[in-house]
Amino acid sequence: MAAEPEICVLSNGRITANIASWGATITSLLVPDAQGDLADVVLGFDTLEPYLKGMAPYFGCIVGRVANRIKNGKFDLNGVEYSLPINNGPNSLHGGLKGFDKVVWDVVERKEGEYPSITFQYESKDGEEGYPGDVTVRAVYSLPEATTLRLDMEAIPANKATPISLAQHTYWNLAGHNSGSILDHSIQIWAKHVTPVNENTIPTGEIMPVQDTPFDFTTEHRIGERINNVPGGYDHNYVLDSGDEKNGLKHAAKLKDPSSSRTLDLWTDAPGMQFYTANYVNGITGKGGAVYGKHAGVCLETQGFPNAINQPNFPSVVVQPGAKYKHTMLFEFSA
């Protein structure tokens, strides 16, 4: 059995992350502005208890075995039909009722010093939440530079092919978690296409150009500028097809807060990114008594495409036994 959940501290003197072994969850992240003043830029709770009680709408956690939605909670693989728990309308969302966000991960390595890191590991069993095969999952959080957080996720199926698509579900507010709406943040997303969805938020299979639509963030726009033209708000998968590359990672997004001038540049090797404006957050009491309302944060969840297991024209999320799923995210902060 895994140990009791704990909160680990990852700090290099410039930025400090608190990361819980429950769901490998970022519970706080202190980042300086241009004056060096620190703010906690992630939504969450002060203690582990609300996470354990399921009160978080995926604040800060790693979701899996498959992030996002699977249509009707069903898929076929190698001639077998698999049925998953239904927990989001007619769909299975973020790994089911007890996904990777709702389990204790083992802390298997901690490195101190100039480039500190923490490694979490979770052993997912055959049949867990309906998925096939045993899978060993690792998540390494590290601070490779003064104001950069890196996450390296990997997963290896032991004995059966299985879909794997992990995502980091932090809700960002660069003005500080308790500063209200993110609609005045601006964002640029290096994606010329999105995957439009049906009434149940399942992709239709189409790859739609964003040009001349409210989904076009190929140049920087205020998040709230056209959100009223998107029914319900943004909750869409962007096709990361146009960012510069460095060290094998693509530039996915640049998020800016005008009040503090804090900026987050996100780099990844994943094919997609869910851009989600916390449309369903409604009056959750978080850290320091802050009340998080609609649009209190923004999620930038790099991922395989939603429902890819049932969409042959989407990049495959199936990983064969012994092969390795890898997914890296680089969060560069500046001001």
Active site residues: 169, 301
- The residue type of 34 is A
- Angle (CA) 161 314 217, round 5°: 135
SS3 225: helix
- Angle (CA) 185 95 234, round 5°: 25
Helix (H) or strand (E) holding 50: helix 49-52
DSSP string, 86-140: --BTTBEETTSTT-GGGSBPEEEEEE-SSS-EEEEEEEEPTTGGG--S-EEEEEE
Q: Is 170 annotated as a binding residue?
A: yes
Q: Is 235 annotated as a binding residue?
A: yes
Scored b (16 or more CB within 10 A) or e, 32-50 reads bbeeeeebbbbbbbeebeb
82 beta partners: 75
Residue 100 half-sphere exposure toward CB, CA atoms < 13 A: 35
Residue 282: CB atoms within 10 A of its CB come to 12
Report d(CA 191, CA 178) in Å as an integer: 30
Closest to 270 in 3D by CA, of 318, 325, 223, 197: 325
CB contact at 8 A, 101 and 169: yes
Give me the count of residues in the chain. 335
Q: Is 251 annotated as a binding residue?
A: no
Q: Is 69 annotated as a binding residue?
A: yes
Binding-site residue positions for beta-D-galactose: 68-69, 169-171, 235
Binding residues, as ranges, are: 68-69, 169-171, 235
